[in-house]
């Protein structure tokens, strides 16, 4: 999953810029609304709890968080968002999956299809690439905030049920099964280990290595364009950038 880690680091840096533009706040707010609606505003619900923690990690104001929870638990107030998953291919046959939250599926489908075709890809049928991915819990730990050694972190994570640990110049990524995610997150919290993000993501089981610079730029531009779309909550792909290309981006 090393290629996924490199792309995650690129997205992490890009996410800081998104937060400044307000895009991150918008997407986190939507997730809060949908999670709250699904559980009736129960803050002990796992999905809502994770949504709240992720919003706080991105410095979303508490009043915004509470407003989104109330909006979701209120039922009829506000837009009725629908959760969808789109699939497709990028340049070079890269497999791409998208998590969608939309109040107009026809509009969103048309816009996403246009983004794919304009950037050398194509939107596919349901199931065309999902078999290449496996849902995993992903916990992000900022390297600069960790007071323990990497070996200690790995030991705590594995003993709590984690599957894997990846390192990056800026952060650690801990992967778990969906069922073990909450237990691992709680074990890290008990040890006062800071978790900046907790998400359940589809992770590619195998990756395509990209070594050509032009092709890499086309793929990354497609990924960024998809992520910039207001209705797209998550973008996942099975490409791996070479070390030199990862450094470029």
Examine the domain organization and report whether 95 and 151 are in the same domain: no
Task: Report the CATH number at residue 187.
Answer: 3.30.70.980
Query: Do residues 184 and 69 both lie within one domain?
Result: no
Q: Is residue 92 part of a domain?
A: yes
Residue 8: the pLDDT is 55
User: In this structure, are 194 and 212 located in the same domain?
Assistant: no
Give the domain CATH number at 39.
Answer: 1.10.10.200
Tens of pLDDT, residues 220-240: 999 989 988 989 988 999 998
State how many domains the chain has.
3
28 and 13 both lie in a single domain: yes
Model confidence over 107-160: pLDDT tens digits? 999 999 999 999 999 999 999 999 999 999 999 998 888 888 989 999 999 999
- Angstrom CA distances, 196 to 12, 31, 128, 140, 151, stand at 11, 17, 32, 6, 20
| Among 39-48, 72-81, 208-217, the least confident range | 72-81
Is there a single domain that holds both residue 197 and residue 210? Answer: no
Let me know if residue 80 belongs to a domain.
Answer: no
Does 185 share its domain with 239? Answer: no
pTM of structure: 0.79
Residue 238 CB-half CA count within 13 A: 21
Domain region containing 137: 132-204
Check whether residue 220 and residue 111 sit in a common domain: yes
Cα 233 from Cα 198, distance rounded (Å): 14
Q: Are residues 193 and 145 in the same domain?
A: yes
The three-state secondary structure class of 135 is strand
């Amino acid at each position: 999953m090393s290629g996924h880690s490199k792309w995650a680091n690129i997205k992490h840096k890009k996410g800081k810029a998104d937060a400044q533009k307000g895009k991150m706040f918008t997407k986190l707010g939507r997730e809060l609304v949908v999670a709250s609606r699904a559980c009736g505003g129960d803050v002990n619900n796992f999905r809502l709890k994770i949504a709240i923690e992720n919003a706080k990690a991105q410095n979303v104001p508490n009043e915004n968080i509470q407003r989104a929870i109330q909006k979701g638990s209120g039922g009829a107030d506000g837009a009725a968002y629908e959760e969808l998953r789109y699939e497709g291919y990028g340049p070079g046959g890269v497999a791409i999956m998208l998590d969608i939250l939309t109040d107009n599926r026809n509009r969103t489908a048309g816009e996403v299809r246009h983004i794919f075709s304009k950037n050398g890809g194509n939107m596919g049928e349901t199931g065309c690439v999902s078999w290449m991915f496996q849902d995993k819990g992903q916990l992000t730990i900022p390297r600069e905030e960790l007071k323990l050694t990497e070996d200690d972190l790995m030991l705590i994570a594995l003993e709590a049920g984690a599957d894997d640990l990846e390192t990056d110049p800026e952060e650690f990524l801990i992967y778990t099964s969906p069922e073990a995610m909450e237990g691992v997150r709680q074990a890290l919290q008990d040890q006062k280990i800071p978790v900046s993000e907790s998400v359940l993501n589809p992770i590619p089981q195998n990756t395509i290595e990209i070594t050509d610079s032009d092709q890499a730029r086309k793929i990354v531009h497609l990924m960024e364009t998809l992520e910039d779309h207001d209705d797209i909550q998550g973008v996942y792909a099975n490409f791996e950038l070479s070390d030199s290309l990862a450094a470029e981006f």
